[in-house]
Amino acid sequence: MDFIRRACISIWAKKGKSFLMLILLFVLCSLVFAGFAIQSATRASEDIARKKLGGDVTLTLDMDKLMKKMEESNGNLGEVPPLTLKDIEKVKNLKAVADYQYIVDAFAGKVDKSPVKSDKKEDNNQAGGMTVAGSSDGQAKMPDFAMTGTNNTNSLANFKNGKEKIISGKPITNKDKGNLALIEKRFANQNKLKVGDTFQLKDLETNKSQKFTVHGIYENKELSSSQQFPVDFMEPANKIYTTVDGAMPFSHNGSLASAKYSMTDPKLIDSFKKAAADVSSVDKDFYKWDANDAAYKTMMQPIQNVASFANIIVIITALAGGLILALLVLLSIRERRFEMGVLLSLGENKAKLIGQFLVEVILIGMIAFSAACLTSEAIGQTVTDQMLNKEVQQAKDEEANTPSGGMQMATVIGGEQDEKPKGEVIDKVDVHISQQDMVEVGGIGLLVVIIATLLPCLFIIRLQPKMILSKND
């Protein structure tokens, strides 16, 4: 163990060079620490963003692709393939799924019960020119009712936020099948309907009628439609909720409007999207699995840019620091040729001589690493704040310069549109140095020290004592 004692003596004897190496290793450790801390903060921010946006994934039309197809085909999109239950029947059984909800948007005509008339209709005869659906006889007909088919009304946005509430009967659940209907209080009062009564609705394309049983009555706080040219089916009182299979015959091509899946954990969203794409037979050219990805990207873009830059810093620092350290060790070896020659002449083992140089660098590195552990969190926080502020400002400038236009396809009438959380840019992250970061940085630092020390020491292995001393002369 004599080489360890010589290493300690050498460090103390060459204070200037030892201090220079200490500064180099301190900077190396600090920058690598900052990089790892930023990466850890980014991962934590991803979890926060996902939890804030919720753990829901919705299968719906990909409007970006549809718009692109329309541009490429000069507006002639053609028929959009329907989204059927058969296409996605296996998705609900995936382990990540805690709950699911299907939505069907449809329209119907009156048979034996009249819709509630709009208060504005008499003053707005222009609305009579609207056409929505064509019947089998070629005559365009105006719907009287808007229908929403679902397997769980309690999960719909209007019922969750209190805009609509059931005052009689029961909600529609996964167990309910067939032609059951939730009707609005004003429609029920006008037609003297109560729970258990029946009424008929007509499909506008086939003119076929179907009988529905009143499963429940709900109240909508919205008194009348806010549309400029109101028609009956746009009135809140004429919105009918039914089961998925009850609404299918009235929908276009028997297609679902959307399918929403709630995750057991928001962290499972990415793996679920891959698994869902594998087990379903959905046309990927028209539909997409959306987890509020646009809002997530808005929230995460600045911090992800900072994390990417931090990765580059870690790589460049490790390479540049290793090269500079190797150069310092090489210069130290060249200056200590006489010492090496004497020790080798006295019978010292080459391995112990290399061990002496390695111990010198490792001891200095341990001091630098300890100092970096105490200061890197503050350094990392300062660096992150400055970089993140620039990225956030750049993101805001880009958003301000981006036109707010563009077509947004919303569910027009009666359909349910989820109130998705908005993505606000993450402009503050807390940087912490964890034990895992210490282990990883310590491992990288030790690896750099060993490689940077051993490579110059190859110079020792290939020389004999006589040659070393003669070169010194």
Last residue of a domain, one of 239, 267, 291: 291
| Domain shared by 152 and 283, yes or no | yes
Least confident of 181-195, 304-318, 400-414: 400-414
| Domain shared by 375 and 231, yes or no | no
Per-residue pLDDT at 228: 56
Inter-CA distances, 96 with 150, 265, 267, 269, 271, Å: 21, 7, 10, 8, 9
pLDDT band at 407 (very low <50, low <70, confident <90, very high): very low
416-429 mean pLDDT: 64
> pLDDT tens digits, residue range 161-183?
889 999 999 999 999 999 999 99
Last residue of a domain, one of 291, 314, 335: 291
| Domain shared by 332 and 425, yes or no | yes
Last residue of a domain, one of 247, 267, 291: 291
| Mean pLDDT for the chain overall | 81
| Domain shared by 206 and 243, yes or no | yes
Phi then psi for residue 181, to 5 deg, are: -140, 140
- Are 262 and 48 in contact by the 8 Å Cβ rule? The answer is no
| Domain shared by 60 and 46, yes or no | no
User: Which residue, among 469, 458, 242, 220, has the nearest Cα to 336 in the 3D structure?
Assistant: 469
- Are 233 and 414 in contact by the 8 Å Cβ rule? The answer is yes
pLDDT band at 229 (very low <50, low <70, confident <90, very high): low
| Domain shared by 71 and 41, yes or no | no
Whether 275 shows a pLDDT value over 90: the answer reads yes
Whether 465 shows a pLDDT value over 60: the answer reads yes
| Domain shared by 24 and 115, yes or no | no
> pLDDT tens digits, residue range 313-365?
888 888 888 888 888 888 877 777 777 777 777 777 778 888 888 888 899 98
Task: Write a three-state SS string for 173-209.
Answer: CCCCCCCEEEEEHHHHHHCCCCCCCEEEEECCCCCCE
| Domain shared by 15 and 123, yes or no | no
Q: 3-class SS at 106?
A: strand
Per-residue pLDDT at 403: 52
Q: Which residues touch 395 (CB under 8 Å, ≥6 apart)?
A: 298, 301, 302, 425
Whether 134 shows a pLDDT value over 60: the answer reads no
Question: What does the alpha-carbon distance between residue 63 and residue 81 come to, in Å, rounded to a whole number?
Answer: 14
Q: Which residues touch 374 (CB under 8 Å, ≥6 apart)?
A: none
> pLDDT tens digits, residue range 58-69?
999 888 888 888
Question: What does the alpha-carbon distance between residue 150 and residue 261 come to, in Å, rounded to a whole number?
Answer: 13
- Are 108 and 203 in contact by the 8 Å Cβ rule? The answer is yes
> pLDDT tens digits, residue range 13-45?
888 888 888 998 888 888 888 888 888 888 888
Inter-CA distances, 336 with 326, 357, 469, Å: 15, 11, 11
Residue 248: which domain range?
A: 56-291
Question: What does the alpha-carbon distance between residue 253 and residue 216 come to, in Å, rounded to a whole number?
Answer: 28
| Domain shared by 342 and 413, yes or no | yes
Q: 3-class SS at 376?
A: helix
Q: What is the β-pairing status of strands 145-150 and 164-169?
A: unpaired
Least confident of 2-6, 275-279, 438-442, 465-469: 465-469
Least confident of 83-87, 269-273, 275-279, 407-411: 407-411
215 or 323, greater pLDDT: 215
Q: Which helix (H) or strand (E) holds 60?
A: strand 56-61
Whether 138 shows a pLDDT value over 60: the answer reads no
Inter-CA distances, 304 with 20, 41, 64, 372, 428, Å: 34, 10, 24, 24, 13
Question: What does the alpha-carbon distance between residue 245 and residue 149 come to, in Å, rounded to a whole number?
Answer: 8
296 or 126, greater pLDDT: 296
Inter-CA distances, 457 with 10, 130, 306, Å: 16, 87, 38
| Domain shared by 352 and 218, yes or no | no
- Position 44, amino acid: A
> pLDDT tens digits, residue range 88-101?
989 999 999 999 99
Sign of CA dihedral 371, 373, 375, 376: positive
Sign of CA dihedral 234, 239, 244, 250: negative
pTM (predicted TM-score): 0.67
| Domain shared by 198 and 320, yes or no | no
Per-residue pLDDT at 414: 44
Per-residue pLDDT at 104: 94
Whether 408 shows a pLDDT value over 70: the answer reads no
| % pLDDT > 90, the chain | 28
| Domain shared by 352 and 261, yes or no | no
Question: What does the alpha-carbon distance between residue 238 and residue 267 come to, in Å, rounded to a whole number?
Answer: 40
242-265 mean pLDDT: 91
392-415 mean pLDDT: 56
pLDDT band at 121 (very low <50, low <70, confident <90, very high): low
Buried-state track 78-96, b at ≥16 Cβ within 10 A, e below 16: eebeebeeebbeebbebeb
Per-residue pLDDT at 461: 66
**Percentages (nearest 5) of helix, strand, coil residues in the chain:** 55, 15, 30
Inter-CA distances, 120 with 37, 146, 174, 225, 232, Å: 61, 18, 38, 9, 10
Whether 412 shows a pLDDT value over 70: the answer reads no
Q: How many separate domains does the chain show?
A: 2
Per-residue pLDDT at 148: 95
Per-residue pLDDT at 97: 92
